[in-house]
């Protein structure tokens, strides 16, 4: 009996620590921009994944990003604590329409860290991409970003 219980505990621990979603949700999302450019974004849909974000990473992979998916549309504020490189941050509403952009958002060098985000509109999605990407893609408030199935 003890072996089965120990095995079950090990399995539960592995699943809890694994980046693979237990509920079958994808871990990456293909994203298409108005220009036709595509990115493969890592999904941060759990509270733990959203709280860690890109902290402690050396860089974003080429053609990659991180998509934060929230349960409720709010004025989600982001900070750059423990981040090692600047990024562009794009906030979108439930229609995947851009409502706010923070370009070349710098890493936080000392506490307290500044927060970035919309002051008026509410976002359901936030996308972090390489610094300069929004300028390269000529992204503006009101544009639609598509998530592919």
Encode pLDDT of 40-89 as tens digits. Answer: 999 988 888 888 888 888 888 899 999 999 999 999 999 998 889 999 99
Q: What is the pLDDT of residue 9?
A: 37
Residue 115 lies in a domain: yes
At CA 114, angle to CA 111 and CA 117, rounded to 5? 155
Residue 122 lies in a domain: yes
Round to whole Å and give the CA distance between 76 and 112.
18
Residue 108 lies in a domain: yes
Residue 9 lies in a domain: no
CATH number at residue 98: 2.60.120.1140
Residue 7 lies in a domain: no
Question: Cβ-count burial of 133 within 10 angstroms (0-12 exposed, 13-18 middle, 19+ buried)?
Answer: buried
**Could you count the other beta carbons within 10 Å of the beta carbon of residue 83?**
20
Percent of the chain whose predicted confidence (pLDDT) is above 90: 63
Residue 110 lies in a domain: yes
Q: Which structural domain range is residue 30 located in? A: 23-148
Residue 2 lies in a domain: no
Backbone angles phi, psi at 67, to 5 degrees: -105, 120
Q: How many folded domains does the chain comprise?
A: 1
Q: Is this prediction's pTM over 0.85?
A: no
Q: What is the pLDDT of residue 149?
A: 64
For residues 51 and 35, the model is more confident at 35
């Amino acid at each position: 009996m003890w072996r089965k219980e120990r095995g079950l505990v090990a399995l539960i621990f592995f699943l809890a620590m694994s980046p693979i979603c237990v509920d079958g949700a994808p871990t990456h999302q293909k994203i298409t921009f108005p220009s036709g450019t595509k990115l493969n974004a890592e999904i941060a849909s759990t509270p733990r994944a959203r709280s860690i974000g890109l902290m402690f990473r050396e860089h974003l992979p080429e053609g990659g990003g991180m998509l934060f998916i929230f349960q409720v549309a709010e004025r989600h504020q982001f900070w750059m604590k423990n981040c090692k490189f600047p990024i562009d941050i794009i906030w979108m509403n439930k229609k995947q329409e851009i409502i706010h952009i923070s370009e070349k958002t710098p890493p936080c060098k000392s506490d307290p860290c500044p927060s970035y985000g919309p002051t008026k509109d509410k976002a359901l999605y936030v996308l972090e991409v390489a610094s300069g990407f929004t300028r390269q893609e000529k992204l503006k408030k009101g544009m639609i970003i598509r998530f592919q199935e």
